[in-house]
Amino acid sequence: MPRTGVFICHCGTNIAGTVDIEKAVEASRNFPGVVHADDYRYLCSEMGQDLIKKAIEDNKLERVVVGTCSPRMHEGTFRKAAAEAGLNPYLLEVANIREHCSWVHKDIEEGTPKAIALLRAAVAKAVLNESLDAPELEVEKRALVIGGGIAGIQAAIDIAEAGYEVDVVEREPSIGGRMAQLEKTFPTLDCSACILTPKMVEAAQHPNINLITYSEVEEVKGFVGQFDVKIRQKARSVDPVKCTGCGVCYEKCPAKASSEFEMGLSKRKAIYVPFPQAVPNVPVIDRDACLYFRKGRCQICEKECPPQAIVYDQKDEFIERRYGTIIVATGFDQMSPSQYGEYGYGQHPDILTGLEFERLFNASGPTGGKVVRLSDGKPPKKVVFVQCVGSRDKARGMNYCSKICCMYTAKQAVLLKEKVPDAKSYVFYIDVRTAGKGYEEFQRRAAEEYDVAYLRGQVGKIFPEGDHLVVHGVDSLSGKIIEIKADMVVLAAASIARADAPDLGRIVGINSDSYHFFNEAHPKLKPVETHTAGIFIAGACQAPKDIPDTVAQASAAAVKAVGLLSKDFLKGEACTAEVNQAECSGCMYCEAVCPYSAINPVEIEERYHGGTLKRTVAEVNPALCQGCGSCTVICRSGSVNLKGFSNEQILAEVDAICLQR
């Protein structure tokens, strides 16, 4: 029986308040194999760790059990301490007597026997622990950024500047994302394009950045340090090498389709670049709209293209590359307010969403930068802004606050006043939320200097009457019902996750919350990490956020990625599966359930009745195995074992809890 030591942490009163420590220490002394038991107020402190180290040396301990908080918190700390005292770190076992015991039980009468049972189980397992070594894994020194909006661009530039190669995959024909659609940015009113396009150009020209536009990630295999990614590069129908970006093709193209970039407010050609500053400045043919693809005739673009860059028979191509790390920065969508029948969205051209209204300010937008009603081309004199359309709405929308609407509404009201000086804005709000540097000051300026009337209350009905829109709302501060005959209504529709975010999450292997925003590993302390090692998130795909927060998060994700790429090797998983090939029948169920493709069939030769027999058995590639344990569960003959969590060890724990009550 290995010489075992038990150490119990008080965690202040976190554990000691509900567990009789003295009793637990006494009980531990009687467990089989235990030669030493002790307790300390904070074992995770330096003095606490020294206590463990000294006891290992003084008592020649071969196994250590620490009764403390969850192994997710301090298993690493204690394993390191054990290693420093000369013990293989995998010979140390943590009994979670805080989250699993003291925090969930009311009093010492309930907590103490539970803690003792958990300690007994941990000792029973620990005596069966074996020394393990984590394999070293090579790191592919290249990063993948999914999404070419401001988050993806910023992350890519930061990684490239640190000296590593980075590929940016963007679904649309150009990088730029949502920020490219904006006219000005709050709270300083700098022109969005003026601050974004230099970054787009920098990304395009950086020797370490490779832009893969009009492409989507189709498959991600592998693990941290070695992600094998398959990217579908959709057929542009234009040769990007020959194309000079002259624009003759889309000038001459006779076919039109609704412009995604203009939120459907205007048309684009079938061959198009989404916006004038597109990067790369190479058009794509929308095959659903192109006359040649639909009806087999036209080919005007091919005839007109000076460098003859049109390639109608171009096919989708696949890029397969290995990356050390991945940053997901896929952004957000705007909820369609059409489910709010009372707001009449979609029933009248002068009822717009915030992002649609934004395009009216833009010089290259659907109205050439004139803020006018889409119904009759006249400038709007009275504009009603409705906040929280779909946000903060438990009954019919999203529970959360979309965070950006209060500020962009104030911005749009200010811009409106500048474009149409005799315009009057009304803002219906639930609360005005302006947390951020310079934000409150900006919003107050809108209200005080730009004549924006803030009305605390909600809108109940919007309908056309004559050539204006009647808005019925309530001013809850005065208790009055308000009726405004408006020329235009702007609905601050909720920011929502991309419709296909769950699909991408499944491909990449990260999870999302109930709204389909990607989950960070810890809401405070791991804001850009995910639960999958080597995959980071940035920007509005994690939660609604404004540009400053997005850029900060993108740089944070880049630092994490660079930190990983700067290592030549990573410590792999020590607790991997192994197959007892003598018992394995070769059914290969384990191969079918392995999420990491770490199990393969191999042929072995066995002596059999004097001759030799060839048969197929399973083999685990320890470099790929992540120790999830799926194979050990599916194995019918019990011949797969997870190192550090063998069937024998688990049963010893169960026996220790069940048999010795």
What residues contact residue 104 under an 8 Å CB cut-off, 6+ apart? none
Using CB under 8 A as the binding rule, whether residue 447 contacts other proteins is answered as: no
Closer residue to other proteins in complex, CB, 467/568: 467
Closer residue to other proteins in complex, CB, 293/463: 463
Return the residues of window 573-602 that contact other proteins according to CB under 8 A.
Answer: none
Stretch in the footprint of other proteins (CB under 8 A) among 148-156, 438-446, 461-469, 510-518: 461-469
Alpha carbon distance 590, 636 (integer Å): 9
Shortest Å distance, C-beta 470 to other proteins: 7
Using CB under 8 A as the binding rule, whether residue 29 contacts other proteins is answered as: no
**What is the radius of gyration, based on Cα positions, of the chain?**
31
Closer residue to other proteins in complex, CB, 384/543: 384
Which H helix or E strand runs over 465?
strand 459-465
Query: What are the phi and psi torsion angles at 532 (to 5°)?
Result: -100, 120
Q: Which two tokens stand for residue 433?
A: 């939320």
Using CB under 8 A as the binding rule, whether residue 319 contacts other proteins is answered as: no
Question: DSSP secondary-structure letter at 574?
Answer: S
Closer residue to other proteins in complex, CB, 286/487: 487
Stretch in the footprint of other proteins (CB under 8 A) among 181-189, 366-374, 457-465, 618-626: 457-465
267-286 footprint of other proteins as x/- string (CB under 8 A): --------------------
Stretch in the footprint of other proteins (CB under 8 A) among 190-198, 326-334, 458-466, 606-614: 458-466
DSSP string, 18-65: TS-HHHHHHHHHTSTTEEEEEEES-TTSHHHHHHHHHHHHHHT-SEEE
Using CB under 8 A as the binding rule, whether residue 461 contacts other proteins is answered as: yes
Residue length, the chain?
A: 661
Using CB under 8 A as the binding rule, whether residue 306 contacts other proteins is answered as: no
Closer residue to other proteins in complex, CB, 197/458: 458
Sequence-ordered alpha helix ranges (H) in 253-325: 291-295, 300-304
Using CB under 8 A as the binding rule, whether residue 533 contacts other proteins is answered as: no
Shortest Å distance, C-beta 322 to other proteins: 51
Closest to 259 (Cα-Cα) out of 237, 295, 286: 286
83-122 footprint of other proteins as x/- string (CB under 8 A): ----------------------------------------
Closest to 179 (Cα-Cα) out of 465, 474, 583, 545: 545
Closer residue to other proteins in complex, CB, 444/461: 461
Shortest Å distance, C-beta 341 to other proteins: 3
Strand order in the sheet with 209-212: 209-212, 165-169, 142-146, 325-328, 535-537
Closest to 376 (Cα-Cα) out of 261, 465, 461, 468: 468
Q: Are 48 and 42 in contact (CB under 8 A)?
A: yes
**Sole binder of other proteins in the list 51, 85, 298, 470 (CB under 8 A):** 470
Query: What are the phi and psi torsion angles at 554 (to 5°)?
Result: -65, -45
Using CB under 8 A as the binding rule, whether residue 348 contacts other proteins is answered as: no
Using CB under 8 A as the binding rule, whether residue 51 contacts other proteins is answered as: no
Q: Which two tokens stand for residue 622?
A: 């320890």
Closer residue to other proteins in complex, CB, 476/600: 476
Q: Which two tokens stand for residue 4?
A: 């075992």
Shortest Å distance, C-beta 454 to other proteins: 26
Question: Which amino acid type is present at position 412?
Answer: Q
Stretch in the footprint of other proteins (CB under 8 A) among 29-37, 338-346, 360-368, 514-522: 338-346
Pairing of strands 4-9, 459-465: unpaired
Return the residues of window 471-500 that contact other proteins according to CB under 8 A.
Answer: none
Closer residue to other proteins in complex, CB, 198/341: 341
Shortest Å distance, C-beta 427 to other proteins: 23
**Sole binder of other proteins in the list 340, 408, 428, 429 (CB under 8 A):** 340
Peptide bond into 274 cis (omega under 30): no
Closer residue to other proteins in complex, CB, 395/435: 395
| Cα of 506 vs its chain's centroid, Å | 11
Stretch in the footprint of other proteins (CB under 8 A) among 52-60, 339-347, 576-584, 614-622: 339-347
In sequence order, what E strands does 236-315 have? 256-258, 267-269, 271-272, 284-285
Closer residue to other proteins in complex, CB, 22/342: 342
For residue 450, what are the CA distances in angstroms to 93, 187, 224, 420, 444?
A: 65, 14, 52, 11, 9
Using CB under 8 A as the binding rule, whether residue 341 contacts other proteins is answered as: yes
How many CB atoms lie under 10 A from the CB of residue 378?
Answer: 12
Using CB under 8 A as the binding rule, whether residue 394 contacts other proteins is answered as: no
Closer residue to other proteins in complex, CB, 223/340: 340
Closer residue to other proteins in complex, CB, 45/476: 476
Q: How many residues of this chain bind other proteins (CB under 8 A)?
A: 8
Q: Which two tokens stand for residue 276?
A: 């004038």
Shortest Å distance, C-beta 461 to other proteins: 7
| Cα of 181 vs its chain's centroid, Å | 23
Stretch in the footprint of other proteins (CB under 8 A) among 125-133, 313-321, 340-348, 491-499: 340-348
Using CB under 8 A as the binding rule, whether residue 40 contacts other proteins is answered as: no
Question: DSSP secondary-structure letter at 311?
Answer: -
Q: Which two tokens stand for residue 369?
A: 């930068």
Using CB under 8 A as the binding rule, whether residue 72 contacts other proteins is answered as: no
Using CB under 8 A as the binding rule, whether residue 463 contacts other proteins is answered as: yes
**How would you class 235 by CB atoms within 10 Å of its CB: exposed for 0-12, middle for 13-18, buried for 19 or more?**
middle
Residue with tokens 């024998």: 648
Using CB under 8 A as the binding rule, whether residue 422 contacts other proteins is answered as: no
Stretch in the footprint of other proteins (CB under 8 A) among 35-43, 335-343, 532-540, 631-639: 335-343
| Cross-strand partners of 454 | 427
**Sole binder of other proteins in the list 205, 465, 479, 614 (CB under 8 A):** 465
Residues that bind other proteins (CB under 8 A): 340-342, 461, 463-465, 470
